[in-house]
Structure 1
Amino acid sequence: MKLLNSAARLEKQGVGDMEERLITIESKLALAEDLLDELNKTVFRQQEQIDLLQSQIRLLYTQMQGSGQGAEKRDPRDEIPPHY
């Protein structure tokens, strides 16, 4: 009878330890999921910023190409600063 009681006590302790471990794992999983969501939001915002910057660079490049085609070759000596 003592052996059965000891086995039952050990089994109850094992279940309690198992529950604690499961709760710990579930808590860590929930934190990891929250972190993953935040990182995904950050990556999304950064991609939006990258897309915007790329479109601005394309616009500047187009403007520079357009201003360079019709312009005459300028002599740097013609661009004397106003204080001379």
Structure 2
Amino acid sequence: MTAKSLLLGLVAVAGLAACEPVPPPAVIPDEAADACGAAGYKGLIGQPREVLAQMTFPIGTRMIGPEDAVTADFRPDRLNIEYGRSGRIEKVSCY
């Protein structure tokens, strides 16, 4: 076997190895993605933030305005309700 044929063989093997399929990223189960129960509050989106005063929420729920500073710690069991400059609720999620 010559050095040239050996080199061509190695290039072919390397090229085939590069074509190996990459496994898809792990998917978070729906239960984990909604550990805080945000799905039950999605109906608030689009409502004025004043409706929040009439409701009770789980302990630790955050009402976040457009200029509010919040901690960056991730807690999937914490409900977060975000409202915009218009005073309307824009997002309900767990983090």
**Greater C-alpha Rg:** 1
Structure with higher strand content = 2
Of Structure 1 and Structure 2, the greater helix share is in: 1
TM > 0.5: no
Higher relative contact order (CA closer than 8 Å, sequence separation 6+): 2
Shorter-chain TM-score range:
0.3 to 0.5
